[in-house]
Structure 1
Amino acid sequence: MYDDWFEDYELNSQQQAVVDVVRESARSWPECRPADTVVLVFGPDEDDEEDVAPAARESRWEPPTEHTAYLTALDEALDRGEEVLTLIADLVDRRERDRGLIFMTLGATVIGNRLFCSERHSQNYQTPEPTRNVALLTAAGPPEHLGRIAAAWFEEIMNRLIVSSHPVVGGGYRFVPPGTALPPGHRWVRNGPQ
């Protein structure tokens, strides 16, 4: 099923240009299989706010302010009837692959000529998570330029060493600097010695 990274089916030429650049880079990412990546195109018919009663909309979750520009651009694009391209890459625990243990989802969304990269919710892919260990990235430019920036952002994170406490307890994953020895009571999750 997953023969290539960021498989896609019906993209317009600008979307395809972004995906092609990121796909080429993804082939060299460590511990990232094609099944760990996905391309999503959201259209105006997938804007669920219209179906929510006003009272429910008022009490909804308010995102951290660092995501305001992204969420505003997303809402405006969907209101205008534009499609929004999102590339998703999951960071998967290499020892827990069979169980599908995803401990972080990364997303790069192209809205018009703008790119928004951040950690994303692992179930709906559009909702950004609060900023923790992954810096937000925004850029503007033509599709190939945005593809190169997104690819570099994904690649830098994919190359990070990651450890977890053993046994994994409540989000026990963390990035460690290159050259770090395995801390006592931890195990390598990604990119460390086998």
Structure 2
Amino acid sequence: MYEDWFEDDELNTEQKAFVDVVRESARSWPECDPMDTVALVFEPEEEEADGRAAAQESQWEPPAEHAAYYAALDEAIARGDERVTLIVDLVDRHEGRKSSVFMCVGATILGDRVFCSERHTQNWQDPEPTRHVQPLTSAGPPKHLGRIAAAWFEKIVHSAIIAGRGGLRFVPQGTALPPSHRWVRNGPRNDPSDRPYLKPALRP
């Protein structure tokens, strides 16, 4: 189990074309192990459509920036489409702390579009209100969408993240570690006082 990134044996040809592109990119992502990723295949179910309708009737409103995603999701459910979602868990491994997931990011294929955003850490399908990561939507054939999603994920997993009293935040590469903060991801492996600066990399 977890021998490769985004493992799943039940993908159809188009889904596999999308996932294979992202998987190939993931093999070079820093601080991202196979166990930090998952490929989810959602079968068409009437109960899910009914559940979403009930949630909407109970005054639940999706974040405004994700309205297009939910509209496309409802259309996919109505068509009886399978949906594929790729999830990457961002894990805090620094300062000798026990591994813990502090953020999930995901990419979902709906028809000929991909929707990338920060996701709920428990159900993985619902996008979170935009906080740290800018959502992305694109259209095209499966391999093109795979390249779009892979580049989006790659920016995020290459980013440096620190934590302090104000919570976690992404920092520009080359930033010194501020006082009373610690590295969460992509920081120096040894004592920060010995290596106060980060290596150049991508930002989200």
Secondary structure of 1:150's match? helix
C-alpha spacing 1:125/1:52, structure 2 compared with 1 (3 Å): closer
The residue number in structure 2 matching 1:185 is 180
The residue number in structure 1 matching 2:69 is 70
| % identical aligned pairs | 66
Secondary structure of 2:24's match? helix
C-alpha spacing 1:163/1:7, structure 2 compared with 1 (3 Å): same
Secondary structure of 1:115's match? strand
Looking at structure 2, the residues matched to 97 and 86 of structure 1 have their Cα atoms a distance apart, in angstroms, of 31
The residue number in structure 2 matching 1:137 is 136
Looking at structure 2, the residues matched to 38 and 147 of structure 1 have their Cα atoms a distance apart, in angstroms, of 15
Q: Which structure 2 residues correspond to residues 170-181 of structure 1 after superposition, within 5 A?
A: 172-181=167-176
Superposition deviation, residue 57 in structure 1: 4.0
Alignment TM-score, normalising by the size of structure 2:
0.87
- The CA deviation string for residues 101-155 of structure 1, in whole angstroms up to 9 with x for no partner, is 1111000001111010000001111100000121110000010000000000000
- The CA deviation string for residues 5-57 of structure 1, in whole angstroms up to 9 with x for no partner, is 01011100000001100000001100000000000011222752415785x64
Quick check: 2:159–2:170 contact (8 Å CA) kept in 1?
A: yes
Does residue 123 (structure 1) correspond to residue 122 (structure 2)? The answer is: yes
Structure 1: gaps (5+ residues): none
C-alpha spacing 1:98/1:16, structure 2 compared with 1 (3 Å): farther
Does residue 106 (structure 1) correspond to residue 122 (structure 2)? The answer is: no
Structure 2: gaps (5+ residues): 190-204
Q: Which amino acid aligns with 1:144?
A: K
